Amino acid sequence: MSRGDLGVSARGGRQSNRDWRVGRESEYAPRALDMAPTQLKHPSYRPDIDGLRAVAVGAVLAFHAFPAALPGGFVGVDVFFVISGYLITSIIGADLSEGRFSLSNFYSRRVRRIFPALLLVSIACFGFGWFTLFADEFERLGKHIAGGAGFVSNVLFWSESGYFDSSAETKPLLHLWSLGIEEQFYIVWPLALWLAWSCRLNIPRFAGLLACASFAWNIHGTSSDAVSAFYLPFARAWELLLGALLAYSGLASSVTEASDSRAKWARHAASTAGAALLGFGLYATRSSRPFPGWWALPATLGTALSIAAGPRAWLNRCLWAQRPLVLIGLISFPLYLWHWPLLAFARIIAGEELPTRTRATLLSCALLLAIATYRFVERPLRNVRIASRWRVPALVTGMAAIGIAGFATFEAHGLPRRAVAGAAQRFETQFAPWPYENNSLCKSRYPFPEARAYSAWFCMLNRDAPPRVLVLGNSYANHLYPGLINDPDLRGNTVLSIGSCSADMGYAEHNPVFDRRYACNAERPLHQRQLIDDIVTRSGSVEYAIIDGLTYAYDGDFIPNLEKRIAFLESHGVQVIVFVPHLRANHRDLRGCFSRPLRPRALACDLDPAARAELDAQFAPVIAELSRTHPKLAFFDQNAVFCQGKRCSLLRDGMPLFRDQKSHYSEFGSSAVIKIFAAWAKTNAPGILRSQ
């Protein structure tokens, strides 16, 4: 999201060229394009663009605080991308046209514009996190501060994305992904423009080819790898290049400068169509739809049309250029920077969803902080002339320092000796990243090509020997692995946990529950069936199979598919034990079950006993049907770990049973479940017990 080119004055009128030399370029937009297509003159300030910034940042804030009220508000980021591309290209093009473009001057202006507010917010987040966050939370914050300081947040969050990624609402600097995209564009685009200018290339054609390639990448990526298309710069570059094309196309000039009646109505039509497209994008786009893709077009084209209409268009003049919007547009950069950390830290501290009044109060605080940042940090640093030559080195040094501090915090695992981390050390380690997704021993013994389709194949093997116990299922089966290999009564077994598909997928080659990229639903018949069959038939050592992680889609195919899997295993002499599906935390973060600074009282983490009865009733027909056809089949009720007597809880002995909001067991939870399982097995499956 562009904040790098925010305006610094609400006053209209033409500015002198001297302003360009003191870094006030963000107040300008192209005034005339009466030269060749690759030449621009210095632009004049346009308050309507600041008004568009206000709409964009307001939409983002509304979406983050009240998503149901404006479900497409996140496209405000795309509005900023277009504005940034337009203004930056106008600035660079004007300097190139006058023969005084300098990369060092350009980047110096970027530092003076971006670094003050970003540095302040980063320091504030680090300081607040020091006193309030547990070690794993502070470790993650340190990594994100380092990524923000290096303007690679988008790449960082892309690398973190996945099934086990922590909730976006608990990442105070998640919003810096958009700043990363913009700064990466600012690094590449000025040099590209300078080279194109030096080689006398047709710059609009050059920019247009890049924009088309980027848009094609975006369309393809949105359907094949939506996370990459969202975070990575080339898939989003077309939005900034759309603004660049607008700056060089001559459209803004021809519509803005002409004064005949036809041009007048063209201006009005362009601004009206632009506002309509922008409004449609804000209200019709949904986070559940593929994005950016085609859905990014309404807001970006609407923004481009609004800019092209020029400041004399009636809607631009009477709506976007109104003083309240302009003033918000002027502080939109610090407002964007402050709002998300306030919301995220509040959610972390509260441990639950924030009330509407609290979210509204936090946005008001963000507004006050943005005003103060603009008034007392941005403007003084931009306009002061005393020791001006030291401003850029000082800002760069400060940004490097906070980046190093963040990285050091990450390397030090969140500085666990801090007071808040030390008090939480007993339970906080249960929320650490899961180390049991893959190990080299398993992958070397079972190098199935399907594993390449998974970020987490859950291929775990505790010793270099044929497996005796096979853990079959998805991530909800994998979370049993640490308990099975460490329990005193079971650790003598060779345990193999492999596969990312629920056992009820059976022998079906196509199942709409999973995306076709997954091996269990591959277009060719090489899927989990063949994988498990090979392990069982070739090794000949599997005596027990534990099935967990069954889906909740108890439709007509569920029992037949599961029955086929069980029949195959039993035909090879394998004793099958099915773990009854476990209770869920309903997306609750169990950190809220413990006190922390600013919230001295822990939240209640009880579960309704009726939920267990409902789950038992739901699964009872499955037990009845499978027991009828497979009398040797055993069922283990793992929900005993949650319920003691009539009370059910997400904690046991003061420790969290889940490690994440998706209800995967923590290592403690895994051990607690398997301890109960071992006691059950003494009567129901004594052969699985092996302590040596």
Mean pLDDT within 650-678: 96
CA dihedral 71, 74, 80, 85 (to 10 degrees): -110
Query: In the prediction, which pLDDT does 505 show?
Result: 62
Helix (H, G, I), strand (E, B) or coil at 652: strand
In contact, 626 and 578? CB cutoff 8 Å: yes
Of the candidates 345, 419, 346, the one whose C-alpha atom is nearest the C-alpha of residue 135 is 419
pTM of the model: 0.86
Query: In the prediction, which pLDDT does 11 show?
Result: 30
DSSP state of 585: -
Mean pLDDT within 665-678: 98
Mean pLDDT within 222-248: 93
> HSE (CB half, 13 Å, CA atoms) of 173?
34
Token output for 160: 């973190």
Q: Where are the alpha helices (DSSP H) in 387-453?
A: 391-411, 419-423, 425-428, 440-445
DSSP state of 438: B
Distance from the Cα of residue 304 to its chain's centroid:
27
Query: In the prediction, which pLDDT does 387 show?
Result: 55
Give the pLDDT band of residue 520 (cuts 50, 70, 90). very low
Sign of the torsion angle spanned by Cα atoms 415, 420, 425, 430: negative
| Mean pLDDT lowest among 137-141, 182-186, 223-227 | 223-227
Q: Tokens 């980063």 identify what position?
A: 122
- Phi, psi (rounded to 5 degrees) for 663: 70, 40
| Mean pLDDT lowest among 42-51, 177-186, 627-636 | 42-51
Token output for 444: 């070397």
Token output for 333: 């950069």
CA distance 425 to 227: 34
* The pLDDT of residue 459 is above 70: yes
CA distance 17 to 60: 34
Give the pLDDT band of residue 14 (cuts 50, 70, 90). very low
pLDDT tens digits, 401-418: 999 999 999 999 999 999
Of the candidates 526, 550, 422, 583, the one whose C-alpha atom is nearest the C-alpha of residue 474 is 550
Query: In the prediction, which pLDDT does 450 show?
Result: 52
In contact, 481 and 459? CB cutoff 8 Å: no
Other beta carbons less than 10 A from residue 654's beta carbon: 10
* The pLDDT of residue 591 is above 80: yes
